[in-house]
Amino acid sequence: MRHSNIEPVFENRYDAGRQLAEKLTEYAGQSAVVLGIPNGGVAVALGVALAIGADFDIVISRKIPLPLSPEGGFGSVTDDGTLILNEELVKKTGLTRQQINYQVSQVRMNIKERSLLYHKDRPPLSVAGRTVVIVDDGLASGYTMKAAIESLRHRRPEKIIAAVPVGPEHVIEEIRKVADRVVACVAASGPVFYVSDYYRYWYDITDSEVLTCLKEWRMRRRGNIQLPEKKRELT
């Protein structure tokens, strides 16, 4: 659904990954690790990882939805338990500690289910001493990316690059404070911002497609086969 007359920059998330990879070529051959944030960020991250020859995995960082208004969020939680709250919004909305704890517990249960689905019996990739590129399909509030960055810091990488196709200028500046570098194709400056407006074809990425992305990367790395062009319904 489009919210403005902004001309789309990306056909879909796979195209966004190709465009983003062009800004990350300096990390090719440097034993980097690309981590996609499910669900939408994984499709973007796949193109980046293949283009720069990096290892590829996921880091689960989920928005904590506002009670009675799940489209909005007041923070994020990651798969290792890292929690970041938008304290200003918590105060503004008057959320109680009981409400916060309940919403966080629900998200953590969801993360546990997704982690089992995505990782199965595979341990997470080692990132110690390596350059980590965290990829999402766009920044909105920035809290999902912030939580992912803080989570990865505990695993002692050499540096963390936050990479997104698009985000508001002021949010990108906020992410610069916690990442070693931020890479974005588009820094939006308008008064109203929706990630979806910058994509011609925008749809919800399913868990099945996330698993397909992980499988395609493994097949490509093993057999060096061509990645098929993605064909999506234009709805």
Sequence letter at residue 161: I
> What sign does the CA torsion over 61, 66, 67, 69 have?
negative
Residue 164 lies inside a defined structural domain of this protein: yes
pLDDT of residue 3: 56
Sequence letter at residue 120: K
Per-residue confidence band for 191, with pLDDT thresholds at 50, 70 and 90: confident
The answer to pTM > 0.85 is yes
pLDDT of residue 9: 95
pLDDT, tens only, 17-59: 999 999 999 999 888 999 999 999 999 999 999 999 999 999 9
Residue 104 lies inside a defined structural domain of this protein: no
Domain count, the chain: 1
Per-residue confidence band for 224, with pLDDT thresholds at 50, 70 and 90: low
- 53: domain range? 13-61+126-221
How many Cα neighbours within 13 Å face the side chain of 34?
A: 33
Look up the CATH number of the domain holding residue 51: 3.40.50.2020
Q: Are 161 and 134 in contact (CB under 8 A)?
A: yes
pLDDT, tens only, 133-162: 999 999 999 999 999 999 999 999 999 999
Among 33-47, 100-114, 187-201, 220-234, the range scoring the smallest mean pLDDT is 220-234
Residue 43 lies inside a defined structural domain of this protein: yes
DSSP string, 160-220: EEEEEEEEEHHHHHHHHTTSSEEEEEEEE-SSS--GGGGBSS--PPPHHHHHHHHHHHHHH
